[in-house]
Amino acid sequence: MNEKKLLRSATDRKIAGVCGGLGKYLGVDPTVIRVLWVLSLFLFGGGLLAYIVCALIIPDGQ
């Protein structure tokens, strides 16, 4: 059985690979995740803190 694991992307990364990993895990384009993350940064103010926490918690992929 194939288990999906949330990992930071080693190949599709701009900063830490969080958006690339989330995009692969959810099956969507990482650019969409990046745009949503930037919008959350400006609209809600918690995007930067959430990104840092995800970068620290989500393990690095191969």
Question: What's the whole-model pTM score?
Answer: 0.82
Q: How many domains does the chain have?
A: 1
Enclosing domain of residue 26: 18-57
- Mean of all residue pLDDT scores within the chain: 89
Average pLDDT, stretch 30-49?
Answer: 87
The confidence score (pLDDT) of residue 55 equals 93
Contact residues for 6 (Cβ-Cβ < 8 A; gap 6+): 21, 22, 25, 58
10 assigned to some structural domain: no
The confidence score (pLDDT) of residue 40 equals 87
Is residue 35 pLDDT above 90, yes or no?
A: yes
* Distance from C-alpha of 21 to C-alpha of 11, rounded to nearest angstrom: 9
28 assigned to some structural domain: yes
40 assigned to some structural domain: yes
13 assigned to some structural domain: no
